Chain A
Amino acid sequence: MSDPLAVRPAIRLNAGTQEKPVLFPRRKSRINGRSVAVLVFLAMAAAFYCVPLYVLVVTSFKTMEQIRQGAIFALPTEWTWEPWNFAWNEACSGITCEGLKVGFWNSVKILIPSLIASISLSAVTGYALALWNVRWAGTFLFILFMAAFVPFQIIMFPLIQLTVHMGIYGSLWAVAFIHTVMTMPIVTLIFRNYYKDIPDELIKAAMIDSGSFWRIFGEIILPMSANILIVVLIMQITHIWNDYLIGVTFGGPGGQPMTVNLANLVTVSTGTVSYNANMAAALLTAIPPLVIYFVLGKFFVQGISAGAIKG
């Protein structure tokens, strides 16, 4: 006979299973040539990310005098928050000198409407496509699939025309609108695939019990969507926050998100380059997605271990 484990009965994972059984006894870990190679590779990769990050962080706390002396790896001789304060409140971007906070609030104002619009529209569309009889659903899905892979640059100019006609070009609303439109295909597909896995009979039961599109969505489907909502939320926040091209193209002078603000700030040509303020500005821009990661990531794990997501 071969491996006796191979003839074990298949493990049934039914709705009530709260914890997954351990399928096989875990092997004792042993260090061998292969794992050394992996470790070396991982260490190099980590260094590749960590060294620049280290430089970024220490520089942002140094004074300009210390920076001019070189020694970029040295710790600050005198820790100062001044570069952070400067970057947030005073740094110049173009002709205005109000710091990054303008861009930060712009990004927030772009983020919130585009999150609400893209996630709610996509969730409902995905739900309809997955669980209701929609005429031409197959064709529609195919179009969504194609649309998800159209590069933004190709349709940039028509979209500019469109927003000009809508009268929102050069404002925060244009940026939010374009984000919503551009991310909807892929987010809809994500929701649709998630909802497709909901057991058929559950939907049939809801059809007999209620039959109302919105009621079933609100009372049955949405409460089952916590996991996918978190995933999409993390994905969307990171994506929208980090975007540069859409912001710079559609925002105009008054609607620049934080990334555009940052770029203007570091490329400012007048006066000396304040490396410490630039580093602080870069870190400030990167912090919000990180915070979201940590906060929502915790919920994500909780959502999974709570078990009652899918029946």
Chain B
Amino acid sequence: MPNVSFEHINKSYGNLAVLDGLNLDVEDSDFLVLLGPSGCGKTTLLNLLAGLVEVTSGRIMIGDRDVTELDPKDRGLAMVFQSYALYPTKTVRGNLRFGLAARKLDAAEIERRIAWASNLLQLDPLLGRKPAQLSGGQRQRVAIGRALVKHADVLLFDEPLSNLDAKLRTEMRLEIKKLHDELKPTIVYVTHDQIEAMTMATKIAVMNGGEIQQFGSPDEVYERPQNLFVAGFIGSPQMNLNPGVFSLSTGHPLAALRSGVQVDLSGYAFGHTPQEGEEIIVGFRPEHFSAPNGTVAEPAATFDLTVKIIERTGSDTILSLAYEDRLLAVRTEPDRASALHPGDTVSVAYPKNKLNVFAAGSGLRL
């Protein structure tokens, strides 16, 4: 399966630059998830790769072929559209067949592939129906089937699960993941859903404003966000980002937060060490805090705060604690939180090895 690379891609619509000098390398059999806020250029990037939109400048490679100027049909890829885009006047079988017949495969091979896909996606009872006679989930399976029968090496998905209910979405997520494990195509997958991104991806690219903010494995992106945008974008509830000042005066690195809390940074591996007195931002993931009034092995800081809001989501409880003029989100076990009430004061500790530190000026990870 080929790798895919975007080299210095610029794309503008009139004066509006949507992508500006974008570089991205997807390795073979990678499952790349594009994540980013609405309007950041994810669909544009997918359309560029598929050849449905022309680049303003730059080069797109699939394997060792330069496909920048090729027609969509010659790029050897298949795409699942957000709206499914099934051919309304064709049956399910006709939909699966259309892309194959155009490829001049012989009839026996076409039948074999349709049988394979319909078996894989359980389409057998649906083959004779028109798209209008299918449910949303069935249409989606047909759309995926239509992409799979082509045995394309590169599969593109544009928010394929966004129209489904939560249960079906979970099922389809597993199906797609399984398909990737079995067939190992190179996949580029656009989504707004972070759970989809974290569970399915082998690589995540976080985009904002037409630029790649970070590219890496889900764990890397989650554990070591490269800048404040990624830190704030990935994770729900959001990472707590608290400004402070860096200091070495006590002999070991620490951050004096504006609230007066001192954070021991000796467990943090600085990429490069900031100056004494430099403004920094310390990030705390809600789920790494200790239980309320509990402690952790090597605390970097301890906060004594008043509970403002308690939200139960089922598996977790999110405590919002009053911190300066904002709220500090802390995730905890529901039974630990059951005794708490808004107005109580709790103490939560944060471990040394789970810190994230960013320069306030550039927003980059230190």
A binding-site residues for B, Cβ under 8 Å: 15-16, 18, 199, 201-202, 204-212, 215, 219-220, 223-224, 307-311
Contacts and interface: CB of A to CB of B under 8 A. Distances in A.
Kindly list the 6 A-B residue pairs having the minimum CB-CB distance in the complex, ordered from nearest.
Answer: A311-B88, A211-B73, A209-B99, A210-B102, A223-B89, A201-B85
B120 interface: no
B121 interface: no
B25 interface: no
B86 interface: yes
A308 B133 CA distance: 9
A134 B115 CA distance: 39
A307 B88 CA distance: 10
A201 B81 contact: yes
A239 B83 CA distance: 40
Given A211-B73, A311-B86, A311-B87, A205 B132 contact: no
Nearest to B94: A219
Contacts of B334: none
A16 B87 contact: no
B134 interface: yes
B73 A209 contact: yes
A204 B102 contact: no
Contact of A201 (B73, B82, B88, B131): B82
B134 A208 contact: no
A307 B132 contact: yes
Contacts of A219: 87, 90, 98
B58 interface: no
Contact of A311 (B77, B78, B82, B131): B131
21 contacts: A15-B88, A16-B134, A204-B50, A204-B52, A204-B81, A206-B87, A208-B72, A208-B73, A208-B77, A208-B99, A209-B98, A209-B146, A210-B73, A210-B98, A210-B99, A211-B71, A212-B102, A220-B98, A223-B90, A311-B87, A311-B89
Given A199-B83, A219-B98, A211 B72 contact: yes
Given A16-B131, A211-B102, 6 more contacts: A206-B98, A208-B77, A210-B99, A212-B73, A220-B98, A311-B131
A205 B83 CA distance: 11
Contacts of A201: 81-83, 85
Contacts of B90: 219-220, 223
Interface in B23-75: 47, 50-52, 71-74
Nearest to A198: B88
B17 to A, nearest CB: 21
A201 B130 CA distance: 18
B88 A310 contact: yes
Contacts of B150: 209
Nearest to B130: A308
A199 B85 contact: yes
Contacts of B83: 199, 201
Contacts of B85: 199, 201-202, 204-205
B79 interface: yes
A65 to B, nearest CB: 60
B51 to A, nearest CB: 8
Contacts of A311: 86-89, 131-132
B88 A207 contact: no
Contacts of A307: 132
Given A201-B85, A220-B87, A207 B73 contact: yes
Contacts of B77: 208
Contacts of A215: 102
Nearest to A15: B132
| Centre residue among B71, B83, B130, B133 by max chain A CB count within 10 A | B83
A209 B79 CA distance: 9
A308 B88 contact: yes
Interface string B260-298: 000000000000000000000000000000000000000
A219 B81 CA distance: 20
Nearest to A307: B132
A81 B50 CA distance: 69
B130 A209 contact: no
A224 B71 CA distance: 25
Best-surrounded residue of B71, B72, B90 (most CB of chain A within 10 A)? B72
A28 B73 CA distance: 57
A210 B146 CA distance: 12
Contacts of B139: 16
Contacts of A212: 73, 102
B209 to A, nearest CB: 24
A207 B71 CA distance: 8
B338 to A, nearest CB: 37
Contacts of A211: 71-74, 102
B190 to A, nearest CB: 13
Interface centre among A212, A215, A219, A309 (most CB of B within 10 A): A219
A207 B47 CA distance: 12
A16 B82 CA distance: 16
A219 B98 CA distance: 9
A309 B131 CA distance: 11
Interface centre among A202, A205, A212 (most CB of B within 10 A): A205
Nearest to A211: B73
Contacts of B47: 204
B89 A16 contact: no
A16 B52 contact: no
Contacts of B98: 206, 209-210, 219-220
